[in-house]
Amino acid sequence: MEKSKEYLQKEKFFADLDRLHLSLTFDDVRLKTRYYPEDYDPNQAPDLSTHFSKNIKLKLPFVSAAMSTVTESDMAIAMAKEGGLGIIHNAMDIDKQKKELRKVKKYVNSLIEKPIIVQDDWSIEQLLNYCNDKNFNFTTFPVVDQNENFVGMLTNNNLKYELDESKQIKDIFTPLDKVIRTDPKISSEDAFLMMKKHKTSTLPVIDLNNKVVGLYLWSDLVRIHHEKSNYNVNEKGQLIVGAAISSGTDYLERIEEIKNYTDLLVIDSADGDSKFVVDALIKVKENYPNIDVVVGNISEGESALKLAEIGADGIKVGQGPGSICTTRIETGIGTPQVSAIYNCFSKLNEKYSSIPICGDGGIRDKGDISIAIASGASSVMMGRVLAGVKESPGKVISRPDGSQYKEYYGMGSRKSFDNNPNSKIRYNQTDNQVLIEGVESIIPYQGELKTVLNGLVMALKKSMIYLKTKSIEEHRYNTNFTRITNSGLRESGSHDVNVIGI
Ligand code: XMP
């Protein structure tokens, strides 16, 4: 792909910094606005869709962190319903992680895999008794003959005007030649389109042997696939979710248990370019070539390139930018986040531009998200920004003065190490004596996730309007930076006034 004028400018900006061995983070830069290009349509809302990994699409570039105070099933469900993604942490035993993932997968039922079927020679009376006994509150059934072959559909419409209960189902049902049906290969979205086209509220799935193997209901599919729906779903119409795994001893056993309930895996480590992680990536890709594997965390371009060569389907960047992280202070390592993301982005562009980067950690102000994307991130992972919502794990803490909080602690904090032995593996530590690399904190309670995400969406769209970028992809390539000083930063916020409201 030919490099745009804007991309060349961005390259120069970072090359100049590199010559000085200087790395920057969010507060060190702002994004440069520009005169609108000829092909820019100001009436077209910016498109926020993107990828978390090669095959995992997102409607919004937001991912909730794989942390025990951020993402379990409630958060992952809420994130996917809004178009984002939750990564369920693995500081829990395999069984519990499987249960959490399963809850997300079962949240929306796009395809009823084992629909209740009824037989064509039953009388209506028999059917009504059956529904009564079983406490069914529905009257839509695929109908089969004595050999269990599909012969038609019975719906509420067939039933409601029939007053003679001695009649058989085959006297009143919709017979085979009038039933719109489909085969098992259809995706949930195509099933939706087919039902829309034929204006049918039920779509039985029939296999080559004429057996009923599923049922789609319009009422379920419209919730998922309506153009106004933000639901982020897979081919089967299930909410998309990711699972964190570590490079410790149990990861293959873990994957075997959870593989049917997750759309992707994230090898989650504080030291993502270590031999442990590389070995794990190789093994996982060998054993599970069809599942996307995102690997992190790193901050150097060379490491991104090597992980891509080995088969990573996505790269997670961020060593120490997180609000609860003390890794940089304790160990002296780490590159400030804007440069870390750009390092990986520019290196991957040489050969692996289809591998997305997730900028993990350090998002403080809403504008930081736009800056992370302009640095090359396809999505951002957030802990603190999301940990205060209703859907994060843990109770709301109420203070006597009426203020409300939620607990938020680092996966490398003492509390995490004490509560979940697994969290030590993220930091390659297994001994009793460990180096603490994170803190415990409380943060203000924020109510529902939806409200917080709406605020982030509005801010990102507005940023892209100022920058005249139409999509996340364009934003990654064509947005430029200016370096600012402390005076510039001071000028950026409100100043020289007594703030009495916003
Ligand atoms: P934010 O800034 O969104 O960061 O709160 C969340 C990210 O921080 C990472 N993380 C840690 N890093 N010590 C660290 O050095 C820790 O204890 C710790 N816990 C989480 C992680 O990448 C997360 O997504």
Among protein residues, the one with the nearest Cα to ligand 1's atom 14 is 325
Distances (CA, A) of 52 to 108, 137, 254, 261, 289: 22, 40, 22, 18, 17
Residue scoring higher pLDDT (398 or 109): 398
Percentage of the chain modeled with pLDDT above 90: 85
* Domains defined for the chain, CATH in brackets: 5-108+232-492 (3.20.20.70), 113-217 (3.10.580.10)
- Closest Cα to residue 296, out of 267, 325, 265, 323? 267
Q: Is 426 a catalytic residue?
A: yes
Is residue 421 predicted with pLDDT exceeding 80?
no
Mean of pLDDT over the chain: 94
> pLDDT (tens digit, 9 = 90+) per residue, 19-32?
999 999 999 999 99
Least confident window among 57-71, 224-238, 300-314: 224-238
Sign (positive/negative) of CA torsion 68, 74, 78, 81?
positive
Pick the residue whose CA is nearest to atom 8 on ligand 1. Answer: 322
pLDDT, position 85 = 98
What is the pLDDT confidence band of residue 339, given thresholds at 50, 70 and 90? very high
Atom of ligand 1 nearest to the CA of 384: 5
Asked if 17 contacts 11 with a C-beta cutoff of 8 angstroms, the reply is: no
User: What pLDDT, on the 0 to 100 scale, is given for residue 1?
Assistant: 63
106: its two tokens:
């079962």
The residue-averaged pLDDT of 184-212 equals: 94
Q: Using N-to-C axis directions, what is the helix angle for 301-310 and 275-287, rounded to 10°?
A: 30
383 in ligand 1 pocket by Cβ < 6 Å? Answer: yes
Q: Predicted confidence band at 178 (pLDDT cuts at 50, 70, 90)?
A: very high
399 is catalytic: no
59-102, pLDDT tens digit by residue? Answer: 999 999 999 999 999 999 999 999 999 999 999 999 999 999 99
Å from CA of 67 to ligand 1 middle: 8
Distance from Cα 411 to the centre of ligand 1, integer Å: 7
Lowest mean pLDDT: which of 190-194, 426-430, 491-495?
A: 426-430
Residue 156: the pLDDT is 86
Distance, CA 383 to ligand 1 centroid (Å)? 7
pLDDT on residue 168: 93
The lowest-confidence range among 154-168, 274-288, 334-348, 416-430 is: 416-430
Span from the CA of 391 to the centroid of ligand 1 (angstroms): 19
d(CA 213, CA 112): 9
Q: Is the CB of 56 under 6 A from ligand 1?
A: no
pTM of the model: 0.91
Among 401-415, 428-442, 475-489, name the one with the lowest average pLDDT. 428-442
- pLDDT tens digits, 453-495: 999 999 999 999 999 999 999 999 999 999 999 999 999 999 9
* The one catalytic residue among 30, 254, 384, 426: 426
Nearest CA to ligand 1 atom 15: 325
Index of the ligand 1 atom closest to the CA of residue 328 = 15
Active-site annotation holder among 325, 344, 358, 384: 325
Contact call for residues 293 and 267 (beta carbons, < 8 A)? yes
Q: 358 C-alpha vs ligand 1 centroid, how far in Å? A: 13
Contact 361, 380 (CB under 8 A): no
Q: With a 6 A CB cut-off, is 65 part of the ligand 1 pocket?
A: yes
413 CA: nearest ligand 1 atom: 17
Determine whether the shortest distance from the Cβ of 272 to ligand 1 is under 6 A. Answer: no
**CB atoms inside a 10 Å sphere around CB 50:** 23
The structure tokens listed for 399 are: 């203070």
* pLDDT tens-place string over residues 350-386: 999 999 999 999 999 999 999 999 999 999 999 999 9
